[in-house]
Amino acid sequence: MAARKGSGREITDRFRERYSERIPEALRTLQKEVIGADVGAQGYTTVEQADLLAKRLRLRPGISLLDVGSGRGWPGLYLAGKTGCRVVLTDVPLSGLRVAHRRAQERKLLARCFLSAASARYLPFRASSFDAVVHTDTL
């Protein structure tokens, strides 16, 4: 299968539209079956894989996690909720970050969740700002 091509602007617009869409009930049901939970995402990382990330990265309170290309916040918000770590979610389309913010608020994670509209190419953080980095379901 050939990769979809397009300018950076076209790709950003495509993801903006994708993140703005409401997730149909059928997809939520499918997520529960395949991913292991209704995570409100449009990716492929399972709960089991996210739990393995938490274990291997030794996530816990006091640890800072960067989730690059976080979209709607999966699995960064899940990891923060499960382990007590702090998480910074980064992505380009603001529509995905808006959903992630709402989800963080619903899960009472705002004190440990921060959002940054930033491309993975040009992250606005100093070196060694984070203890761990994840980038699931991103290209």
Lowest mean pLDDT of 35-39, 75-79, 116-120, 128-132, name the range: 35-39
- pLDDT at position 45 is 83
Does residue 51 register a pLDDT over 90?
yes
Whole-structure pTM value:
0.77
Query: What is the domain-level CATH number for residue 53?
Result: 3.40.50.150
Taking only the tens place, the pLDDT of each residue in 6-49 is 556 675 666 666 666 666 676 666 666 666 666 566 667 888 99
In a domain, 121, yes or no: yes
Give the whole-angstrom CA distance, residue 74 versus residue 72: 6
CB-neighbour burial class of residue 74 (10 A; exposed 0-12, middle 13-18, buried 19+): buried
- pLDDT at position 136 is 85
- pLDDT at position 3 is 45
Taking only the tens place, the pLDDT of each residue in 108-117 is 999 999 999 9
Range of the domain at 45: 8-134
In a domain, 3, yes or no: no
Give the whole-angstrom CA distance, residue 54 versus residue 9: 33
Q: How many domains does the chain have?
A: 1
